[in-house]
Chains A and B, each alone.
Chain A
């Protein structure tokens, strides 16, 4: 009796909580999750981790916080509301040079750990790691650590935006096909098969012919082509669930198709989607890196791991120090998302967890 009451209590702990409990048991999954959060954190905190402007300072007797202002720009549209104070907002303003020259008594500056702008060139070219530049500089004297940190931002952005687009499309079309079946299913399934045949890479390369190469195009194309996996997953789930008792009950109570799908069926088939999302992000990061390597992705001087790797490759004979940071970063990013995805797949599936 006691046992069965405990059993009931455990059952009532809910799907997400039990999944999390199972997730936590996997060491690799937790390491993956930690790395993923670290990467996201690095991306978000980039303006205070690497910047040629201080996080906060007192300059000519006034307090400024340009680094913190840039940090708030992570919020969409905040850039138009929160602005830097003069002279930190000026394009040609070089803080470090001016601070040395015009410093007044009592002025201080709290600089980021990597006190360089990712695009700031210098005459220290192709230097290996020193105490000044933690992982060296590239062929126009830019600090590699700063570029790696901003590269993380690009990778995170590409991963989330492109997978966001593909998930929305995939969910919507998958629901339609799975719930309505019949001709709708036939049409959408054929569409999936057609899109499945598009080689993402060549599609992006050919789109460059009539659209300027930009990271947004890359994200949109990846999003528009990579939704098929999600759609097929959702379609399968909905076919399984549409005749379940609770769906029948909802329909009998007069709920509309939209309500049945989005209120009842979709939440119950979401779990496996998270798995495709994590794998999708890993794949998108790899695609972005390869495109930037070819020069079709992120446009210079903006840093991305792919174009850092490209420069490193050109200089591999003279400056081998450049090749490792981007390689390791791409490797870890892809690996950690895959670890999370792998663990998540097991965690959301109670049958696997019990066996």
Chain B
């Protein structure tokens, strides 16, 4: 037992030695003055002279855990989609402006009928899968059939794809795709992933879900794709290795290998970047502002990329009437005025996240300049709450109550926070403190992500905090804001029960309108109504924050981030080493 004392003594020494550490406050961080942010070389385009490019380099990337599957039908996390883009190549794609394109390397010709209903697609002859098996129209038909097959559990891919009436193979290389309706979103609905028929038909009868069974499992963990990189090896909990596929008909990647290191912890990720074991990684606000300034270990090896992103964080109110608080617009507005966002942006997000004006980013064509943000103002919030009938009751410890006598209801609600969202918890703490001043008792509950999703989908919450990324077209917001998307069975994404007839109507108009300007007008009006109604407390627009090795060049970005569009990492390169 006596051996314990030296240990304790050491602890105390370390403690006293550390109390004089320098202040970590970075409230005055200004990214525009940071010399390692958005350095020009990072964005330098690929030179025409191939000898200037290092063709033997390996790009070390990262992944926050073992992927659940490498079959594009079953992917759900961001990192899994990064991998899918390398392994698989589809008939269509979109560029960094989110514009839809035909994939010329696979498609020889594409025709759209005058009524926008029928696509006729001819595939280049001689295209193959990684194993040399020909890529044909039958693969596309097989994939479409399986995505819509109820036995195959791939709900995220099913939405959109189910708007296609039929996909038929006229011959080996000719496809006819018929849409149910002439929607402006049809091109995006045709973007479903394609899997090799010759691999997955083998076990389709015994294991129709394409997921279970030894055969399916083998190919879901080591897929045969047709993308620019092919699968080499998956070392559980350590790394996944892809290798450039020389048979790829499109633009070749500059890197011979891509290695995804599995690193779940963000602190560890930064340390491993600093050691040179990772070449690119998503940074969090804290790392960006306080752990990577000039002179730090980070800055010796890397640069930072900061770009706007079409994604916003929010606190969502459940206004379906299941709680007595949030179906009143005045209450929701009061909440928006009770949150000290300037302080949160300054102290918790280090000025890296921009003000949010509702569902569209200021750079989105559907953004409305008419929206005026609700400012932090506790007096105004208190007034709104009084008007809504929530009065401070001094005889009951100063909390706000509504109603008389025993029937009086206390203003007390619970905010759900997904586990792992430390920023969400910090925001909640600040909010809680201000709400207490107003006489509102906010409790918090941190729950595991899967449970969080289940509870929000089933409308079993009062308030929750999360973030939405914006889809490629504003019509994708239909499934968040249209009243028909409030479903009892939990299949819709209108979690909070937002109902507005005009918004429903505008979504319908937008879906049928083919004139772009008119269409954007409808969505602008939708965003104005939604901001006015405050179904969400809009927190801030997130930003793309990336740490990249100094040797990397050719980086591009889109409103969705730096991956998942064409060409993204296919345009990256590193200069050739001098002999």
Contact = CB atoms under 8 A, between A and B. Distances in A.
Contact of B399 (A91, A121, A325): A91
Interface string B1-40: 1101000100110110011111111110000000000000
Contacts of B422: 311, 314
B419 A295 contact: yes
Contact of A300 (B12, B15, B399, B446): B446
A53 B448 CA distance: 36
A191 interface: no
B224 interface: no
A91 B397 contact: yes
Contact of B4 (A94, A140, A321, A335): A335
Interface size class of A (residues with CB under 8 A): 35 or more
Nearest to A214: B445
Contact of B437 (A92, A296, A317): A92
B270 A324 contact: no
Interface string B387-418: 00000101001110000000000000010000
A308 to B, nearest CB: 12
Contact of B432 (A86, A93, A119, A141): A119
Contact of A324 (B14, B420, B441): B14
Given A90-B394, A301-B432, A317 B290 contact: yes
Given A90-B394, A321-B21, A294 B15 contact: no
B25 A126 contact: yes
A41 interface: no
Tell which of B1, B392, B430, B441 has the most Cβ of chain A within 10 Å.
Answer: B1
Contact of B25 (A127, A129, A300, A314): A127
Contacts of B290: 317-318
Interface string B365-386: 0000000000000000000000
A120 interface: yes
Given A213-B445, A299-B445, A311-B422, A128 B20 contact: yes
B438 interface: yes
Given A93-B398, A139-B348, A300 B428 contact: yes
A87 B290 CA distance: 41
A313 interface: yes
B432 A128 contact: no
A38 interface: no
Contact of B441 (A91, A126, A205): A91
A342 B286 contact: no
B354 interface: no
B272 interface: no
Contact of B398 (A92, A313, A319): A92
B426 interface: yes
Interface of A: 28, 86-87, 89-94, 119-121, 123, 125-129, 135-136, 139-142, 205, 208-209, 212-213, 294-296, 299-301, 311, 313-321, 324-325, 327-328, 331-332, 335, 339, 342
8 contacts: A91-B441, A119-B433, A127-B25, A128-B19, A212-B414, A301-B432, A317-B287, A318-B290
Interface of B: 1-2, 4, 8, 11-12, 14-15, 18-27, 267, 270, 286-287, 290-291, 343, 347-348, 392, 394, 397-399, 414, 419-420, 422, 425-426, 428-430, 432-433, 436-439, 441, 443-448, 451
Q: Top 9 closest A-B pairs, CB basis?
A: A90-B398, A318-B24, A126-B24, A295-B446, A92-B437, A319-B24, A129-B19, A91-B398, A324-B15
